[in-house]
A and B are shown apart, each in its own frame.
Chain A
């Protein structure tokens, strides 16, 4: 006599197949989902909206601003660099060649890193003398940072001017190493992010150092 197949087995099988396929699709969809999120954030930025007191950090006011990337008026080689307020988006970093287009916030922290690149306050704002250090998450805004090569051009747009940089070298350093993040005599832009890791935390940082090629201030410096 043939054994009857259990109905429970036949009902459970579709559920198991669903769970398995869902897991496969979730793994494959991680990167596209992050890209879509980044696109939505970059493509539709709020204009001068203040988000008061983010969770977990008292007193952090995040201000998103609309930076003009198509300024066509007169520019000057010298000008004043105002220090932004902590938590304010004060710039946009662009590299046309590989599609990097990142809002840059003055400050550091997880809330700001969710919204764009972070210009470390212990470094200089774009256009000022010294080292401008900007970091961002590798799975969102700086996903293509490792594709930058020597000679590639980047532009930082701000409300007070636009600054063109050229990649001088690519760098790699351990997560605790501050060598590349220190003050500098040269006017440079240091961009860095984590090395891409599928699982777990990245121990290495990768990035580029760029030389300042051109300063274009929108207002002339006031000579005392």
Chain B
């Protein structure tokens, strides 16, 4: 085949392969993050969010102590760190079950109701308060308020807000598309690689595709990392801030390292390809 035509065809195939490889990496990573709840739970574990969420909840009760006149010890009896951990995990699981139209979050508030009821009864006994309608109303309000505060604290990823704004359903749609997209991209990459193999200088062109897709992944993530973009992000409270920024930082870091790795492999293959080509040309010249 004409050398120039060969080079043009290989260039076009390499451009396609670059886009396919970049898209494939992003798809595979997104699949890892959103196809199951494991990634989200791992991040919660890694960022010590269980303890942060519990401490944050107790701080909220402590801060509102002056308003509610309920000592924080009452709330400490009502909620434990184990309770927080199990409910955070459950909340994430239910979020994912929601994609299949299943799963309703059930909270275990028996300890809350018991603790607050006992406190109110003790208070009534000590201060000779009559258990009338006002008493019952106040008790019900206190229980509802504690439950509402706890529900908000458990939702560390703000799944409820994401659901009401349509974000969670978009993620659900993406989950459905990802398996087919993965298959299509892998097939496309294989076909293009075989076509390049049939033409000349496989190492050079595949190396170019790897180098280009590696740069596409690593350059933006490097900019995000070194500009401190994630740290400028203002989030609702310390627990969510910690979780979200550390998760984004971890994802960014992983993509950066993968991109640099791909680019490095690509450079090595390009060098090998150039060396092979030079040897061939030298051989042809000597003939």
**Which A residues lie at the B interface, using CB under 8 A?**
1-2, 4-5, 7, 10-11, 13-14, 17-18, 20-22, 24-25, 39-40, 42-47, 49, 51, 66, 69, 94, 96, 98-99, 101
Contact = CB atoms under 8 A, between A and B. Distances in A.
Nearest to B233: A40
B161 interface: yes
B116 to A, nearest CB: 20
B277 A22 contact: no
B244 interface: yes
Contacts of B234: 46, 49, 51
Nearest to B209: A17
A46 B166 CA distance: 19
B281 interface: yes
A18 B211 contact: yes
A141 B207 CA distance: 41
Contact of B22 (A25, A42, A49): A25
Contacts of A98: 166
B129 to A, nearest CB: 25
B49 to A, nearest CB: 14
B211 A14 contact: yes
Contacts of B170: 99
Q: Chain B CB within 10 Å — which of A2, A25, A69, A96 has the most?
A: A25
A45 B212 CA distance: 37
Contacts of A11: 270, 274
Interface of B: 11, 14-15, 18-19, 22, 158, 161-162, 164-167, 169-170, 204, 207-208, 211-213, 215-216, 219, 233-237, 240, 244, 266, 270, 273-274, 277-278, 281, 284-285
A23 B211 CA distance: 15
A44 B235 contact: yes
Across the A-B interface, the 3 shortest Cβ-Cβ residue pairs: A99-B166, A101-B165, A18-B212
Given A10-B277, A43-B165, A44-B235, A22 B14 contact: no
Contacts of B244: 40, 44
A46 B204 contact: no
A181 to B, nearest CB: 26
B212 A17 contact: yes
A224 B14 CA distance: 78
B22 A13 contact: no
Contact of B167 (A2, A42, A49): A42
A21 B211 CA distance: 11
Given A22-B216, A39-B165, A44 B277 contact: no
Nearest to B10: A13
Contacts of B22: 21, 25
Nearest to A97: B166
Nearest to A98: B166
23 contacts: A4-B285, A7-B278, A10-B204, A10-B270, A10-B277, A11-B270, A14-B212, A14-B266, A17-B11, A20-B15, A21-B15, A21-B22, A21-B212, A21-B213, A22-B219, A25-B19, A39-B165, A40-B233, A43-B161, A44-B233, A46-B235, A66-B236, A101-B166
Contacts of A5: 277, 281
Given A47-B237, A49-B234, A17 B15 contact: yes
A111 to B, nearest CB: 13
A157 to B, nearest CB: 10
Given A10-B277, A99-B169, A21 B19 contact: yes
A14 B208 contact: yes
Contacts of A24: 19
Contact of A42 (B161, B208, B277): B161
A163 B277 CA distance: 72
Contacts of A22: 215-216, 219
Contacts of A96: 164
Contacts of A7: 274, 278
Nearest to B248: A40
B216 A25 contact: yes
Nearest to B169: A99
Nearest to A33: B220
A99 B172 CA distance: 14
Contacts of B162: 39, 43
B15 A39 contact: no
A103 B203 CA distance: 53
